[in-house]
Amino acid sequence: MEIPANAYLTKTAEEKYADFSKIDPFPDITASLLNFKDIFQYILTTGMIDGFVPENLLGATYTCEFSGEYIFWDDKRIKHKQSLSTDGELTIEPNSIVF
């Protein structure tokens, strides 16, 4: 996979967050579920995945390892906060978003 030229490639995730926490770096990309190319652009520019592994991005799916606290909403729109251990597993349902 070829990584596109991007002035933000050399910045840290913290620097990218500071630049884009309040503005969209790609306002011309329509608000919708993003395609592979758009996801790739956002990751490289904003640092939304620190420690990004390009091979783990397949279509609109990114496989990653993490531990700690996460937040999700169930089908009834009830907010839940849980913690994941380093040897635990979290499966995200299709069309879901987890923070």
pLDDT tens digits, residue range 45-67? 888 888 889 999 988 888 887 78
Determine the average pLDDT of the residues in 38-46: 87
pLDDT tens digits, residue range 2-21? 555 566 677 888 888 888 88
User: Which residues does residue 83 pair with via DSSP β-bridges, in sequence order?
Assistant: 69
Distance CA 57, CA 37 (A): 10
Residue 19 tokens, joined: 């630049």
The predicted-structure confidence for 20-29, as pLDDT tens digits, reads as follows 888 888 888 8
37 has pLDDT over 50: yes
| 99 Cα distance to chain centroid | 9
Question: Tens digit of pLDDT for each residue in 66-89?
Answer: 788 888 887 888 888 889 888 888
Instruction: Report whether 17 contacts 45 (CB < 8 A).
Output: no
The pTM score is: 0.61
